[in-house]
Amino acid sequence: MLISPTVSPPQPMLADMNTYAAPSYLAPERLGPWAIYLEQIERVRPWLGALGELAETLIRPKRVLMVDVPIRMDDGRMAHFEGYRVHHNTARGPGKGGVRFHPGVTLPEVMALAAWMSIKNAAVNVPFGGAKGGVRVDPHALSLSELERLTRRYTSEIGFMIGPDRDIPAPDVNTNEQIMAWMMDTWSMNAGHTATGVVTGKPLALGGSLGRRDATGRGVFVTAREAARQCNIALAGSRCAIQGFGNVGYAAARLFHQHGCKLVAVQTSKGAVFNGAGIDPEKLYDHIKRSGTVSGLPGTDALSSDEFWRTDAEFLIPAALEEQITRANAGNVRAKIIVEGANGPVTPEADDILNERGVLVIPDVLANAGGVTVSYFEWVQDFSSFFWSEQEINARLDRLMTEAYAAIAAVAANRGTSLRTAAYIVACERILQARQLRGLYP
C-alpha cells in the first residue's frame, strides 16, 4: 500500500478488527459513518432472536482493499490518489454499490456505505450483497482526460474484485454514466470480452437502463407517498423542503411538484432559498445550471442553515451527505416526515430525539433504495439482452418499493419500533438466514 504525500493519509479505523462493535469507541462529538452503522447494528441485536448469535457477520467487512492510483497529469507530472473498494457481505449475492470521487472519501466511510448497501439490498429483497468504492480526489480539479485516466487506473487496480457475478459498481457522488462507461470498457478490455453487466448506471447505448437516472429520487417519492397515506397527509397542498439538488433531490422535487406538493425550501452547499408559495423545480434547476448556486433565484428569500432546518413542511428530504441532522439541530426540525434521500443523514442520537417528538423517519436503507433496485433491473436486462420500457421499469419500481414499505411498516407496528429498526430487523434476518443456511467453507 502506497500513500502519496500529495494527499492526506487515511483516517484511522475506530478500532481494530477484533473490537469493531465496542460502543466505547463511538466518539460523542462526531460519530462518523462507520460508528453510526455499528450503533444501528447494536440497536437491532435484541430483536434478532437466535440469529443474533451470527451478528458478528454484520460488523466485519468481508473484504477491504486500499489501492494507490497513480496517473500522469496533463502537465507531465505523476500524481497519486488513494482508492478503496469494500465488500461488506455477499451471503445473498454479488456485491453491489457505487463509486464516489470526493476529497473527503475515507476508508471508514466506504466501509459504512458498503454495510448500508448490504442492509438496503436485503430490506427491499434485491438479491445482492453490499459493496462500495471511492477515490479521494476532487474530480472538478481534473481535466476530462485526467479524469478518464484516473477512472481507468482505479478500475484496473480493483479489477480482480469486481465482475458481473462478483461485484457490480454504480455511480455515486461525483460519478456518472461516462465514468461507468470507462469502467465497463476498462474491465472488458482486461477480461478480453465485452461485459456490459460489470457496472450499472451506464449510458443507454452501452446497456444502460431507462429510468435509472431518476430511480433514487422516484423511490424517495414512493416511500414518502406511502408514509403520507399512513399518516393521513394529502400530497396535494402539502409542503416539502429538500437538502441537496443533485439527481436525487431534483428527481424527487419534480415528482412531489407533479403531485401537488409545494417545494418551499432548498439547501445546497452554496446556500439555501425559501418561497412559501412554492419553488418550480425546473426553474431552480435551470438557475443552478446558469449560476452554479441556488442563491439569487427570483422570487425566493435567502435562508441560513439553521432556518432551513426550521422550515414548516410536511416532508423534509436530506439528499446530500451523512450526519446532517444531529442532536444539535434535531430539536429544530418542524417537518412531520423525514425521508432520507442520502445515506446516513440522521445520527442515532438525532433519531431518538425525532422519535420522541413524533417525527416519522423513513430510513435511508428503504427510502433511497430505488437506485439499486433499478440497477438490479439493469443488471437483469444486460444478462438477458432484453430491455424493458421506461413505463415498465417505473411500474416495477413502484410495486417493489410499495411492497417493501408495507412489509417494514407492518413489522414496526407489530413490534412497536421505529421504521429504521424495523428495516434493520427485516434486512438483518434475511442476511443472517442466508449466512446460516450456507454454513462455513471449508
pLDDT in tens, 272-331: 999 999 999 999 999 999 999 999 999 999 999 899 999 999 999 999 988 899 999 999
- The HSE-up count of residue 39 (CA atoms within 13 Å, CB side) is 22
Write the DSSP string, 41-106. Answer: HHHHGGGSGGGGGGGGGGGS-SEEEEEEEEEE-TTS-EEEEEEEEEEEE-SSSSEEEEEEEETT--
Q: Is residue 357 part of a domain?
A: yes
Q: Is the pLDDT of residue 66 over 90?
A: yes
Give dist(CA 45, CA 43) in Å, integer. Answer: 6
**Local confidence band at 13 (pLDDT 50, 70, 90 cut-offs):** very low
Residue 242 has pLDDT above 60, yes or no: yes
Amino acid 333: pLDDT: 96
Q: Average pLDDT of 71-84?
A: 98
Does residue 247 lie within any of the structural domains? yes
Residue 442 domain-assigned? Answer: no
With a pLDDT cut of 70, the percent of the chain lying above it is 93
**How many domains does one find in the chain?**
2
Residues 177 and 257 in one domain: no
pLDDT value of position 380: 97
Pairing of strands 167-171, 239-243: unpaired
Section 211-227 average pLDDT = 96
235 and 186 in a single domain? The answer is no
Residues 254 and 155 reside in one and the same domain: no
Q: Cα dist. 142→71, 145, 150, 226, 291 in Å?
A: 11, 8, 9, 42, 21
Per-residue pLDDT, 23 = 34
Q: What average pLDDT does this structure show over 8-37?
A: 48
Examine residue 207 and state whether it is found in any structural domain, yes or no.
Answer: no
Residue 395 has pLDDT above 60, yes or no: yes
Is the same domain home to 227 and 360? yes
Residue range 126-143, pLDDT digits in tens:
999 999 999 999 999 999
Angle at 294 between CA 293 and CA 299, to 5 degrees: 140
Question: Domain check: are 341 and 225 in the same one?
Answer: yes
Under a CB-based contact definition with an 8 Å cutoff, are residues 337 and 359 in contact?
Answer: yes
- Determine the average pLDDT of the residues in 220-230: 97
Q: Report whether pLDDT(11) > 70.
A: no
Confidence of residue 30 (pLDDT cuts 50, 70, 90): low
Would you say residue 268 has pLDDT above 60?
yes
Q: What is the pLDDT of residue 322?
A: 85
In a domain, 93, yes or no: yes
pTM attached to this predicted model: 0.89
**Residue at grid coordinates 429483497:** 125
Task: Could you list the beta-strand ranges (E) of 259-410.
Answer: 262-268, 271-274, 301-302, 315-318, 337-339, 360-362
Spatial distance between the Cα atoms of 96 and 431, rounded to a whole number of angstroms: 14
Element (H, E) at 239: strand 239-243
Residues 135 and 231 in one domain: no
Q: Are residues 233 and 329 in the same domain?
A: yes
Torsion of CA 389, 222, 352, 333, to 10 degrees: 120
Is 350 part of a structural domain of the chain? yes
Nearest to 68 by CA among 81, 52, 79: 81
Asked if pLDDT for residue 176 goes beyond 70, the answer is: yes
430 belongs to a structural domain? no
Instruction: Give the residue carrying C-alpha cell 425521508.
Output: 339
Domain of residue 340 covers 215-367
The strand order across the sheet containing 315-318 reads 301-302, 271-274, 262-268, 239-243, 315-318, 337-339, 360-362
- Asked if pLDDT for residue 167 goes beyond 90, the answer is yes
pLDDT for 1 equals: 36
- 188 and 257 in a common domain: no
Give the end of a domain, one of 367, 394, 416. Answer: 367
> Residue 63 forms beta bridges with which residues?
87
Cell matching residue 238: 402539502
Amino acid letter for position 384? S
For strand 95-102 and strand 63-72, is the pairing parallel, antiparallel, or unpaired? Answer: unpaired
The predicted pLDDT at position 63 comes to: 97
CATH code for position 308: 3.40.50.720
DSSP codes joined into one string, 12-47: PPSS-TTSTT-GGG--SS---HHHHHHHHHHHHGGG
For the cut 80, the answer to whether the pLDDT of residue 37 exceeds it is yes
pLDDT band at 4 (very low <50, low <70, confident <90, very high): very low
pLDDT at residue 204 greater than cutoff 80: yes
Task: Using DSSP, state whether 276 is helix, strand or coil.
Answer: coil
Q: Report how far Cα 364 is from the mean position of its chain's Cα atoms.
A: 7
Query: Within a domain: residue 121?
Result: yes
Average pLDDT score over the chain: 92
End residue of a domain, out of 323, 350, 367: 367
CB-based contacts of 96, cutoff 8 Å, min separation 6: 117, 121, 126, 128, 129, 130, 131, 167, 168, 170, 372, 375, 376
Among residues 197, 224, 246, the one where a domain terminates is: 197
Q: What is the pLDDT of residues 93-105, one digit of tens each?
A: 999 999 999 999 9
Same domain, 191 and 279: no
**221 in the same domain as 192:** no
Instruction: Compute the average pLDDT of residues 165-190.
Output: 96
pLDDT at 67 over 90: yes
* CATH code where residue 181 lies: 3.40.50.10860
CA 170 – CA 283 distance, rounded (Å): 29
* Whether residue 189 sits in one domain with residue 244: no
Give 386: exposed, middle or buried? Use CB within 10 Å, 0-12, 13-18, 19+: exposed
pLDDT score at 42: 94
Same domain, 290 and 332: yes
Q: What is the mean pLDDT of residues 142-161?
A: 98
Residues designated as active site: 132
The CA distance from 394 to 401, in Å, is 10
pLDDT, position 17? 30
Q: Report the pLDDT value the prediction gives residue 219, as an integer from 0 to 100.
A: 97
Q: CA torsion sign, 412 to 338 to 334 to 309?
A: positive
